[in-house]
Amino acid sequence: MNIFILKKNIKKITQLTLFLIIVFLSIIGFSMTHHIIQAQRNSFQPVDAYLVLGGSITREIHGAQLIKNNPNIPIIISQGSKDPCILLIFQKIEAKMDNVWLEKCADSTFDNFLFSVPIMKKSGVKKVQVITSNTHFPRAKIMAKVSFISQGIAVKIDGVEEVDGIPANYENNIKTLLDVTRTILWSLVSQFYQFSCNEVIKLSDIDLESWNQTGFNCERRGNLVQKRQSSSSLD
């Protein structure tokens, strides 16, 4: 008799578990469908934010050029070059710095989207332009589309030509597969939970004089010249 009751209880628990799983997946599916439709509508909107994936000063230079031509559009540079190097780039190009934000939490391309997407979603961004390198374009394109579209944000990918220096490598297929897989999985989880970065710095708040006193190095192809005094200039 006890065995019969135990089996009956196990059956009820199993049915309840399956029911909850179905409900959970249905909620995720509804949320994803809503966001995909929203992203499709937003694809007809103009770009209202930029995201630079860290890893190359060339990307940051390109981002600064975009801001010079579109000073009212905000830009996030996700774990890019050292703060003073980015500041010098914008000074050299004479680009506005009031709407430039440095996200300092990311340690990988996956993290770039993990921390930047919530910031843009919270800010009401409808369409973002992602800046990466041509050599990283295929992986970044898939990850960007999955990450942003799953949150209702349309996305455009811009590949920058790398003439020399890093990153001059080609993408590893295994790494691409792993990154894309975890991005897809996270797009499901992110329907009800997202990380936040508590290290977001406004570029105009960077204290260049303090950095000059402690010293710093930038990528050579940026042609950034540091003065050890209270000011810095460029070639």
User: Domain residues of the chain, as ranges?
Assistant: 39-234
Which band of pLDDT confidence, cut at 50, 70 and 90, is reported for residue 206? Answer: very high
pTM: 0.85
Whether the per-residue pLDDT at 7 is higher than 80: the answer is no
Whether the per-residue pLDDT at 106 is higher than 90: the answer is yes
- Cα distances (angstroms) measured from residue 75 to each of 65, 81, 117, 130, 164: 11, 15, 12, 10, 25
Q: Are 17 and 34 in contact (CB under 8 A)?
A: no
Per-residue model confidence (pLDDT) at position 220: 79
Whether the per-residue pLDDT at 1 is higher than 90: the answer is no
Whether the per-residue pLDDT at 229 is higher than 70: the answer is no
| Residue 180 to residue 176: CA distance in whole angstroms | 6
Spell out the alpha helix ranges (H) of 77-203.
Answer: 83-93, 109-122, 137-149, 173-189
Q: Count the neighbouring beta carbons within 10 Å of the beta carbon of residue 113.
A: 28
Which band of pLDDT confidence, cut at 50, 70 and 90, is reported for residue 228? Answer: very low
Whether the per-residue pLDDT at 54 is higher than 50: the answer is yes
Which architecture, in CATH terms, is 39-234?
3-Layer(aba) Sandwich (3.40)
| Residue 70 to residue 81: CA distance in whole angstroms | 22
Whether the per-residue pLDDT at 35 is higher than 80: the answer is yes
**Residue 215 Ramachandran class (φ > 0 left, ψ -120 to 50 alpha, else beta):** left
Per-residue model confidence (pLDDT) at position 166: 57
| Residue 227 to residue 222: CA distance in whole angstroms | 15
